[in-house]
A = this chain, B = another copy of it.
Amino acid sequence: MSIIKSQHKEEHLGSSDFITDIVIGMSDGLTVPFALAAGLSGAVQSNAVVITAGIAEIVAGSIAMGLGGYLAGKTEQEHYQSELKRESDEVEIIPEKEKEEVRLIFAEYGLSDHTQTIIAEELAKDKVKWVDFMMKYELGLEKPDSNRARNSAATIGLSYIAGGLIPLSGYFFTHTPAQGLLISAVLTVICLFLFGYFKSKVTGQPLFKGALKVTLIGIAAATAAFIVAKTFNNML
């Protein structure tokens, strides 16, 4: 019973790509702009510089993640289509070789020669399904959703922006980078933990441990950025 339930849950979670994209964009958006702002807080005297750098980072990061993700998705689609064409051609032109490939997949799992032959011959009866089978089980490729790349890019990019504005907001209403950092750190650590918790829920990880991981990555990045930026700035 619990097996069926957890499988059902996996399917359910797998379908909420939208929520996964929000979590990806937002937890990265919280981490890097937070760490950058923290790093600068130890090195410059003006909130305006921290905010300007933070805004520049959010723009750069959201475009790199969003556009990068979009183009990666497009590439995945093109790759799928070209492999689909190749497999379709292969079952037409060299069906015996393709049957041999089917046999090899099952030979690996110890199935008898006789059974390998039956599988290959039966699969070969329906070429569309045969090609589908080869795509999934020989090449390990799933058909990508054609709207997915665009939607995913927009969601990740916008979530990165929303996430990045949280740590930056600490510098809007304070007068010195030190004050800004204090508010920013408190706000961001709370949000990192909440998003880490939510992310663990979406990806099926242990909730508290997952939340702690996300929070610690953020704190580690911010602490390292702070120390290195301060050291570097003293040298310049």
Contacts and interface: CB of A to CB of B under 8 A. Distances in A.
B110 A63 contact: no
Interface in A186-236: 203-205, 210, 213, 217, 220-222, 224-226, 228-229, 232-233, 236
Contact of A122 (B32, B48, B115): B115
Looking at chain A, what size class is its interface with the partner chain? 35 or more
Contact of A71 (B32, B38, B111, B213): B213
Contacts of A28: 64, 68
Contact of A36 (B38, B53, B75, B229): B53
Given A51-B232, A119-B115, A236-B48, A56 B39 contact: yes
* A28, A55, A90, A204 — most chain B CB neighbours (10 Å): A55
B49 A44 contact: yes
A126 B106 CA distance: 13
Q: How often does this chain occur in the complex, in copies?
A: 2
A217 B64 contact: yes
Interface in A59-93: 59-61, 63-64, 67-68, 71, 75, 79, 86, 90
B63 A217 contact: yes
Nearest to A44: B49
Chain A binding site: helix, strand, loop or mixed by DSSP? helix
A149 interface: no
A123 interface: yes
A52 B35 contact: no
Contact of A40 (B53, B90, B111, B122): B53
A204 B129 CA distance: 26
A35 B36 CA distance: 14
Contact of A59 (B39, B52, B132): B39
A220 B67 contact: yes
Interface of A: 3, 28, 31-32, 34-36, 38-40, 43-44, 48-49, 51-53, 55-57, 59-61, 63-64, 67-68, 71, 75, 79, 86, 90, 94, 106, 108-112, 115, 118-119, 122-123, 125-126, 129-130, 132-133, 137, 140, 203-205, 210, 213, 217, 220-222, 224-226, 228-229, 232-233, 236
6 contacts: A3-B90, A35-B63, A55-B232, A63-B220, A79-B205, A115-B115
